[in-house]
Chains A and B, each alone.
Chain A
């Protein structure tokens, strides 16, 4: 089943390759003029165009792009001057670490809140859940990020300077996974661990608060539906403890839609990341892609979209597998 699902993803990836190639070419802006510098005349711009291979017909450019792609070469970024594949490999862990942590923050707050709200509808817990969710989703992420920086760094001084993944005077732990929290533990470097953890708190909180709403609301709605169903009434009538009823019976059944939501939330967190990365000077792939887009730098944009597409496909696959684990009925149907 996993294999069949993966085969299904191939046409969409081919589509993504073609569409991103064409879209980036359709962008306004002439990279040759941009990179020729402010003082370049027509001749200089043409020299640059030939150097970049942009004087060739589109189909030739596309052929070369696909050919490089097959060899795992995503091209060179013109803005940063580095190969795109290397940059994405270096930056992806930064984004992933932040996004995962943000998702964990959101889950840790939202799921209990949703369950509590569902068990006591109309109570103060329910209202709190509603207010927190509404506030979280209505505050723009960059604004929330700036507010957190202002309060916790500028006013209170509790948080370290928003200068990216590590304090200026620490060096990165030796590369193992690219996740600084894990790498620093592997290296036994608690100093780096502490520094990177404290750097992560604010951006992860920002993302977490933003992602709270859908998870909390979905947990609440789906728990309400399940709590009203016959088997819960039977379980209660049989004298099971409220804990067993809610967690063992109701929650497991309510989890399916929540997992689907988690998948969705994770994908849009990767998007929201772009702004959070800007605010916290986070060296992730979101800020990388935006900078490239501003400069009409084709290669990184294509590489970014392709990476994202692959991640989405992988994520959907993972969610499908999780379904099977949570809901035995899926196994029978498959």
Chain B
């Protein structure tokens, strides 16, 4: 090549470089308009909720990529669209007929899976069989609604399925609207199943095999998930967002920067302090909603001294610096669960605040009456996975308990071991969160206070009175006996507050920050995003 030719060609290349960006950015602007960019700390480890150890981000993918027979209507709570616990809407079913001991669902005739196969009753049966059989979390969740045996799911004809009830349980129908009973393309999954893996869990771990509003087009674990809209979706009105890009950004500072610069559209796991500051700047829309049926609490092991003594537990409940925790740890972004007026009647609701307030003198007196005038030593454990809230909370509690003579050593437990340690039920004093998908008081109490001692009854609390009230409430709810139900709910709440095996501190908030041009956020019991309702622009 001659020198002159070379110069000419470099000039041409350089010219191309200068003009090209304009074209690129136009294409880019178009892509940005149709794409929703979500940033969060962690991503899914499995995109099938039936999988072994699927994490919570994985639930979000499942929710958006699979349909259930039914879902919930929306209502408005404090100006935010909020799922209506009591009103169901049809998703894959076009009709639901609930009888005395069974419910019959007629499927939408034109519904198809992502690969175009029509949705048949046999797919529904196969999917529900899978949920009650694979073990682990999905089976556990199905059991919570008395759905435990494949025989309960009966194919009537190609487009009709009947769910037989094991017993009268008002949680059965709501349990069919949670994430777990998703409907899978049974032929597609069976084709990819092996002898060792009859339910095809290895296949659905990496591939969406449903017919929901979105499907995963690419997933790089720990980096990003890209979803595209299913234009043939029959489960509801066609979603507005064509493409969802969900990137994992581990540093919360960077997530905030991305939001403030306008690069990211939505993020929902920032520290409380950031949310408060973002709210005051007013550049973004911040929506805070209390966890439904969820409470952060301080638990005490009631089987061993000193916490087997009621007066010790009451002393602790009087010593906790509730308001300080609200102000300095949560920056006000939580609902207080303490300090109800002394004459306030117990409500038929859960969560509801108890009547304790910080009162160091009273705490000291109770501790002396309990036989510990000089206090004692104990350890307070927390999950390092949620250190942002837990650590300052425990330090404040340590300081306050020190004032009444209880010497507290803080025990930080890494996220990986937290559940193991908690499940041993030997930690004397600890803080933790429990929240139930099904928003019913008796549901919370069955898991957390009932003497059958489930793993969430971390205090090993046993009280014949509470057991009686809880069982009574379950029966009354199934029979629709409102008077008996109300009496029983008040009964177990009163008893739990009288015995105080765990001290409710606050109801945490789900905080979501989004750009002003993004709308349609809905609060769901699973607290993750529903892309189907989101709108950009």
CA distance A309 to B92 in the complex (A): 53
Question: Is A149 a contact of B416 with CB atoms below 8 Å?
Answer: no
Interface residues of A in 66-107 (CB under 8 A from B): 77-82, 87, 90
Asked if A35 is at the interface (CB within 8 A of a chain B CB), the reply is yes
Looking at the assembled complex, report how far the CB atom of A47 sits from the nearest CB atom of chain B, in whole angstroms. 5
Q: A48, A281, A294: which contacts B249 (Cβ < 8 A)?
A: A281
Query: Taking the nearest CB of chain B, how far is it from the CB of A80, in angstroms?
Result: 3
Q: What A residues does B220 contact at CB under 8 A? A: 90, 283
- Determine if B28 is an interface residue (Cβ-Cβ < 8 Å): yes
**A34, B420: Cα distance in complex, Å:** 8
Mark B residues whose CB is within 8 Å of A: 17, 20, 24, 28, 31-32, 35, 37, 39, 45-46, 51-55, 135-137, 139-141, 205-206, 220-224, 245, 247-251, 253-254, 257-258, 260-261, 263-264, 414-417, 419-420, 423, 454-456
Contact assessment for A80 and B455 in the assembled complex, using a CB-CB cutoff below 8 Å: no
B254-A40 in contact (CB<8A): no
Contact at B52–A35, with CB atoms within 8 Å?
yes
Q: Does A37 contact B (CB under 8 A)?
A: yes
Given contacts A29-B416, A35-B52, A149-B257, A48 and B455 within 8 Å (CB-CB): no
Q: Are B419 and A190 in contact (CB under 8 A)?
A: no
Question: A146 touching B251 by the CB < 8 A rule?
Answer: yes
B137 contacts which chain A residues (CB < 8 A)?
A: 36-40, 44
Query: Could you tell me if A146 and B37 are in contact, using CB atoms closer than 8 angstroms?
Result: no
Task: State whether B140 touches A80 (Cβ < 8 A).
Answer: no
| Top-8 shortest CB links A-B | A35-B53, A80-B221, A29-B416, A29-B417, A37-B137, A33-B420, A283-B223, A296-B416
Is A164 in contact with B140, judged by CB distance below 8 angstroms? no
- For A280, the chain B residues whose CB sits under 8 A away are 254
Decide if A291 is an interface residue (CB 8 Å cutoff): yes
Cβ–Cβ contact B257 & A34, under 8 A: no
Query: Cα distance A281–B267 when bound, in Å?
Result: 15
A218 at the A/B interface (Cβ < 8 Å)? no
Chain B CB count within 10 A is highest, among A150, A161, A162, A190, for: A161
Residue of A nearest to B31 (CB): A169
Contact A81 B46 (CB under 8 A): yes
B140–A149 CB distance below 8 A: no
Instruction: Tell whether A60 is near chain B: CB-to-CB under 8 Å.
Output: no
A96 to chain B, nearest CB (A): 17
Which of B35, B205, B248 has the most A CB atoms < 10 Å from its CB? B248
Q: In the bound complex, what is the Cα–Cα distance between A90 and B250 (angstroms)?
A: 19
Of the residues B31, B135, B254, contact of A44 by C-beta under 8 Å: B135
Known: A281-B249, A287-B250. A81 touches B221 (CB 8 A): yes
- Chain B residue numbers with a CB within 8 Å of A29 are 414, 416-417, 420
Q: Is the C-beta of A288 less than 8 angstroms from some C-beta in chain B?
A: yes
- Please tell me if the beta carbons of B251 and A281 are within 8 angstroms of each other in the complex: yes
Pair A169/B28 contact, Cβ less than 8 Å? yes
Assess the A279–B52 pair: CB atoms within 8 A.
no
Q: Given that A81-B221, A191-B24 are known contacts, is A146 also in contact with B253, CB under 8 Å in the complex?
A: yes
Give A49 Cβ to nearest chain B Cβ, in Å: 11
Contacts of A34 in B (CB 8 A): 53, 416, 419-420
CB-based contact B136/A153 at 8 Å? no
Establish whether residues B222 and A47, one from each chain, have CB atoms under 8 Å apart when the complex forms. no
Which among B206, B247, B261 is the interface contact of A154 at CB below 8 angstroms? B261
- Of all chain B residues, the one with the shortest Cβ separation from A167 is B28
Q: Identify 24 residue pairs between A and B in the complex whose beta-carbon atoms are under 8 Å apart, listed by A's number.
A: A29-B414, A29-B416, A34-B420, A36-B419, A37-B54, A37-B137, A40-B136, A40-B140, A44-B140, A48-B52, A48-B53, A80-B221, A80-B222, A87-B221, A150-B253, A161-B263, A161-B264, A168-B245, A168-B247, A169-B28, A169-B32, A190-B17, A281-B251, A296-B416
User: Does residue A247 face the partner (Cβ distance < 8 Å to B)?
Assistant: no
* 8 Å CB contact of B455 from A40, A51, A278: A40
Cα distance A146–B255 when bound, in Å? 12
In angstroms, Cα B257 to Cα A33, docked, is 36
Residue of A nearest to B140 (CB): A39
Q: Return chain A residues, CB-CB under 8 Å to B414.
A: 28-29, 294
A30 interface residue (CB < 8 Å to B):
yes
Report the Cα distance A30→B32, complex, angstroms. Answer: 43
A41 close to B454 (CB less than 8 A): yes
* The residue from B31, B46, B222, B247 contacting A163, defined by CB atoms under 8 A apart: B247
Q: Is the CB of B35 within 8 A of A169?
A: yes
**Contact A36–B53 (Cβ < 8 Å):** yes
B17 in contact with A153 (CB, 8 Å): no
B455 cross-chain contacts in A, Cβ below 8 A:
39-41
Most chain A CB within a 10 A radius of its CB, from B137, B223, B251, B258: B223
- From B255, which residue of chain A is reached at the shortest CB distance? A281
Q: Does A295 contact B (CB under 8 A)?
A: yes
Does A174 interact with chain B (Cβ within 8 Å)? no
Contacting pair A44 B223 (CB below 8 A): no
Q: How far is the CB of B266 from chain A (nearest CB, A)?
A: 13
Q: Which A residues touch B45, using CB under 8 A?
A: 78-81
B135 touches A47 (CB 8 A): yes
Q: How far is the CB of A173 from chain B (nearest CB, A)?
A: 15
Beyond A146-B253, A279-B251, 16 additional pairs, beta carbon < 8 A: A28-B414, A35-B53, A36-B137, A41-B454, A48-B53, A81-B205, A149-B253, A154-B260, A161-B258, A162-B249, A163-B247, A163-B263, A164-B223, A281-B254, A294-B416, A295-B416
**Could you say which residues of chain A place their CB within 8 Å of the CB of B35?**
168-169
Closest-CB distance, B509 to chain A (whole angstroms): 20
Q: Evaluate contact between B454 and A37: CB separation under 8 angstroms.
A: no
Q: How many angstroms from the CA of A157 to the CA of B250 in the assembled complex? A: 21
A30 touches B420 (CB 8 A): yes
CB < 8 Å: which of A30, A44, A77, A79 contacts B417?
A: A30
Name B263's closest neighbour in chain A (CB-CB).
Answer: A161
